[in-house]
């Protein structure tokens, strides 16, 4: 594999990283794959995430076309978030990551 090829790969991995970087995005997606649509539902499903961070992360995910945000004219207002079809392309990767994480936890025994 030549140098140019690697440089390309580095660009692509950077794009991947940009789309899902940070402490919370993967967790948010995992929860949302399971059909949690409302802000509070998502928040309640993820231990320790603040509304401030969740709000920002959802915005990022929307910009990257991984989720949609639909506003309903109710009282109080209702917002629904949903993973896009495009986001489903990420699901098998995230599943593999999760499996790997499980395995890693066992491999690095004693780590908390």
Partner DNA sequence: ATTATCGGTATCCTTTTGTATATCGGTTAC
Partner DNA sequence: GTAACCGATATACAAAAGGATACCGATAAT
Question: Can you tell me which residue has the tokens 């699901």?
Answer: 91
Q: Which does 9 bind (CB under 5 to 8 A by kind): a second copy, DNA, none?
A: a second copy
Q: Which does 93 bind (CB under 5 to 8 A by kind): DNA, a second copy, none?
A: a second copy
Site for DNA in 38-97 (CB under 7 A): 38-40, 48-53, 55-59, 69, 75-79, 81
Residues of the shown chain interacting with a second copy in the complex, contacts defined by CB under 8 A: 1, 3, 6-17, 19, 21, 23, 26-27, 30-31, 34, 45-47, 64-65, 86, 89-90, 92-94, 96-105, 107-108
């Amino acid at each position: 594999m030549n140098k140019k090829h690697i440089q390309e790969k580095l660009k692509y991995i950077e794009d991947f990283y940009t789309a899902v970087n940070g402490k919370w995005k993967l967790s948010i997606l995992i929860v949302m794959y399971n059909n949690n649509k409302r802000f509070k539902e998502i928040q309640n499903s993820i231990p320790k995430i603040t509304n401030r961070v969740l709000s920002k992360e959802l915005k990022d995910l929307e910009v990257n076309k991984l989720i949609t945000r639909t506003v309903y004219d109710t009282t109080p207002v209702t917002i629904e978030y949903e993973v896009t079809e495009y986001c489903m392309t990420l699901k098998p990767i995230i599943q593999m990551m999760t499996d790997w994480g499980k395995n890693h936890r066992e491999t690095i025994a004693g780590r908390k």
